[in-house]
Amino acid sequence: QVKLQQSGAELVKPGASVKLSCKTSGYTFSTSYMSWFKQIPGQSIEWIGMIYAGDGGTGYNQKFKGKATLTVDTSSSTAYMDLSSLTTEDSAVYFCARHYGGYPFDYWGQGVMVTVSS
């Protein structure tokens, strides 16, 4: 069955960077897209950007350009998101979710809490 397993919770200091992972199984990773999302608890969801696992092509929400960098490792069927220059505003739950062209996000990771605090 399709699974997206995200890395564990992170506590990071302001100004630091963090790399989140999303390890997939149960489907052909290289023919799919992976998107990433930010959700502050109790609030709505923001789309950060997406990456096509086949060639690493990316598309970002302008709001997150310079903040997030998406990559994939097809050998391990894993997607990554680097978040840089973290501030307290970046404290949130981050999700990954699979999708295909013309079809919305059908499988999601369990989410990972990132807390930015000194």
In the complex, least distance from residue 83 CB atom to other proteins, rounded to whole angstroms: 17
Among 7, 58, 61, 84, binds other proteins (CB under 8 A): 61
CB closer to other proteins, 15 vs 57: 57
CB-based contacts of 80: which residues, under 8 Å, 6+ apart?
19, 20, 21, 22, 70, 71, 72, 73
How far CA 48 is from CA of 25, 59, 75, 95, 117, in Å, comes to: 22, 9, 24, 10, 22
Cβ 27 vs Cβ 98: under 8 Å = yes
In the complex, least distance from residue 46 CB atom to other proteins, rounded to whole angstroms: 7
Query: Any contact of residue 44 with other proteins (CB under 8 A)?
Result: yes
Query: Any contact of residue 27 with other proteins (CB under 8 A)?
Result: no
Among 63, 66, 82, 87, binds other proteins (CB under 8 A): 63
Residue 49, strand partner residues:
36, 60
Q: Which residues bind other proteins (CB under 8 A)?
A: 35, 43-47, 59, 61-63, 95, 97, 103-106, 108-111
